[in-house]
């Protein structure tokens, strides 16, 4: 029965095309992100506080436009919007490739981030549109696997490319991956409206679309009244505020541990990805997990991994760093799968794009300040102390989520699986 269910998902050509496009884009992005960090830290020697400006510049477009991008994703053909974003990303990546210094790099990254603002809700809305409700968790798991798997293959191959060639070669690979992603999305241009979407429109008695502003307000109203989704977003917002204080400082930490090893960042990030993939596979086999244990436990493991990395002295053995990265990845994979499943499963099909757009807005708001605070924190203390402090904070947040689970994620019925909404059924891997 479960094997047939897995085959059923891959029988949808639209899902195969969307999944392949997403895999290519995710893989290319990890080549790109690693190359930019190495270029900025090792080649240009940029100060940690200035490095913190990278996520700030990338977050500003999301703060300004994410909720509107989500509304747009619910109104237009998502595949066309994703393809346009891919092509714009390619064009702007050409500028990144030839950026002569940090001052040129920042605005180019901000403009490129604008394309990503519209891509994320479109991809999530398209997933909800092409995948039947009973296969949604499986699709979410596969999307998580390819996203986390990219953290393994991307940094490992990126590290090899960096050693053999240059950061610019990694950026070129991202450009090629994005072009292929855009080509795969061509076949989804004429995708018909999903049955779920048609039924939702009939139930609401909608004979015509609401105004853009009407749909925008409807998305916020849905979020406020759907407490399971609202609490998930708030919990994630607080956790992200903590982790973003050090997220872009991993190369700074690893440079203090091993000044001459430019590939160390890629190796540890690959270990994080491997841990996440392992967590996703185990969760698929487990069969059921409580929302609070997934979110709170995942957050706690992320914090523990960060704190232990911060305690590592100079010249620490590679196996120790990889082990702590693996632990961090297990928490990351658990958290991401449960969070995305909640936002997909507990959201009506016709507002998925808006919900993910709102989430992107909230997450991006904290990116305007948290990285800068983290940069100042490292300046005032040390990079190791900053990592240890932020890690302990996240462990505390995870424990809080578990202790308050009955308040944040109360039990109600889910008709498709017979489990509580604060529990999720998973097919066997």
CATH code: domain of residue 351: 1.20.1250.20
Question: What is the structure's pLDDT at 399?
Answer: 93
At 155 the three-state DSSP class reads helix
Q: What is the pLDDT of residues 240-289, one digit of tens each?
A: 888 888 877 888 888 888 887 767 877 887 788 788 878 877 876 765 67
Domain membership of residue 201 (yes or no) is no
> Looking at the predicted structure, is the pLDDT value of residue 206 above 60?
no
Percent of the chain clearing pLDDT 70 (strictly above): 76
Q: What is the token pair recorded at 138?
A: 């499986």
Looking at residue 384, what is its pLDDT? Answer: 87
Domain that holds residue 156: 8-187+211-425
- Angstrom distance (rounded) from CA 149 to CA 213: 38
Domain assignment of residue 1, yes or no: no
How many structural domains is the chain composed of? 1
- On the CB side of 116, how many CA atoms lie within 13 Å of its CA? 22
Give the mean model confidence (pLDDT) for residues 208-226.
64
Domain-embedded: residue 347? yes
Is the Cα dihedral 92, 80, 20, 251 positive or negative? Answer: positive
Considering the domain boundaries, does residue 361 fall inside one? Answer: yes
Per-residue pLDDT at 418: 34
Q: What average pLDDT does this structure show over 112-139?
A: 78
pLDDT recorded at residue 405: 82
Stated as kind and residue range, the H or E segment containing 425 is: strand 423-425
* pLDDT tens digit sequence for 277-322: 788 778 767 656 778 888 899 999 999 999 999 998 888 888 999 9
pLDDT at position 180 is 92
Residue 257 Cα distances to 261, 265, 282, angstroms? 9, 11, 32
Reported as a single tens digit per residue, the pLDDT across 420-429 is 333 343 333 2
Whether the full predicted model's pTM is greater than 0.75, yes or no, is no
User: Does 2 reside within a domain?
Assistant: no
| Residue 193 placed within a domain | no
pLDDT for the residue 428: 30
Question: Residue 307 has what pLDDT?
Answer: 93
What pLDDT score does 397 carry? 92
Residue 192 confidence (pLDDT) above 70: no
CA distance 148 to 211: 38
Average pLDDT, the chain: 76
**29 with 147: CB under 8 angstroms?**
no
For the segment 351-405, what is each residue's pLDDT rounded down to a tens digit?
A: 766 776 777 777 777 777 777 788 788 888 888 888 998 999 999 999 998 888 8
Instruction: Give residue-wise pLDDT tens across range 76-104.
Output: 788 888 889 899 999 998 888 888 888 88
More confident of the two residues 418 and 43? 43
What are the contacts of 347-351 at 24+ separation with CB within 8 A? 347/128, 347/222, 347/226, 347/229, 348/200, 348/222, 349/128, 349/129, 349/194, 349/196, 349/197, 349/200, 350/74, 350/197, 350/200, 350/201, 351/74, 351/218, 351/219, 351/222
């Amino acid at each position: 029965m479960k094997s047939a269910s897995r085959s059923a998902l891959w029988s949808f050509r639209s899902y195969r095309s969307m999944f392949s496009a997403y895999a290519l884009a995710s893989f290319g992005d990890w080549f790109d992100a690693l190359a930019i960090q190495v270029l900025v830290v090792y080649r240009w020697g940029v100060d940690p506080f200035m490095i913190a400006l990278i996520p700030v510049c990338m977050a500003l477009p999301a703060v300004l436009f994410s909720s509107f991008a989500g509304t747009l994703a619910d109104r237009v053909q998502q595949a066309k919007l994703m393809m346009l974003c891919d092509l714009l990303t390619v064009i702007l990546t050409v500028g990144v490739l030839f950026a002569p210094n940090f001052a040129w790099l920042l605005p180019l990254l901000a403009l490129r981030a604008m394309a990503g603002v519209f891509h994320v809700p479109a991809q999530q809305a398209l997933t909800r549109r092409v995948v039947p409700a009973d296969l949604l968790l499986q699709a979410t798991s596969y999307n998580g696997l390819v996203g986390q798997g990219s953290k393994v293959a991307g940094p490992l191959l990126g590290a090899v490319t960096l050693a053999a060639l240059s950061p610019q070669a990694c950026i070129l690979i991202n450009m090629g991956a994005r072009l292929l992603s855009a080509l795969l999305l061509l076949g989804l241009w004429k995708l018909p409206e999903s049955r779920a979407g048609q039924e939702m429109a009939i139930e609401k008695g909608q004979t015509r679309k609401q105004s853009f502003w009407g749909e925008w307000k409807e998305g916020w109203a849905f979020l406020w009244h759907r407490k399971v989704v609202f609490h998930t977003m708030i919990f994630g917002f607080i956790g992200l505020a903590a982790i973003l204080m050090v997220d872009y400082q991993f190369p700074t930490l690893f440079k203090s541990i091993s000044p001459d090893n430019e590939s160390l960042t890629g190796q540890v990030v690959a270990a994080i990805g491997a841990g996440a993939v392992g967590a996703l596979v185990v969760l698929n086999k487990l069969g059921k997990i409580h929302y609070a244990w997934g979110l709170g436990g995942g957050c706690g493991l992320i914090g523990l991994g960060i704190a232990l990395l911060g305690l590592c002295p100079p010249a620490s053995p590679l196996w120790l760093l990889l082990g702590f990265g693996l632990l961090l990845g297990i928490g990351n994979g658990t958290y991401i799968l449960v969070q995305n499943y909640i936002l997909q499963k507990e959201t009506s099909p016709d507002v998925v794009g808006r919900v993910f757009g709102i989430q992107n807005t909230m997450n991006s708001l904290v990116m305007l300040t948290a990285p800068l605070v983290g940069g100042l924190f490292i300046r005032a203390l040390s990079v190791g102390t900053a990592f240890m402090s932020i890690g302990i904070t996240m462990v505390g947040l995870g424990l809080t989520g578990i202790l308050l689970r009955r308040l944040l994620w109360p039990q109600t019925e889910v008709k498709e699986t017979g489990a509580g909404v604060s529990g999720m059924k998973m097919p066997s891997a």
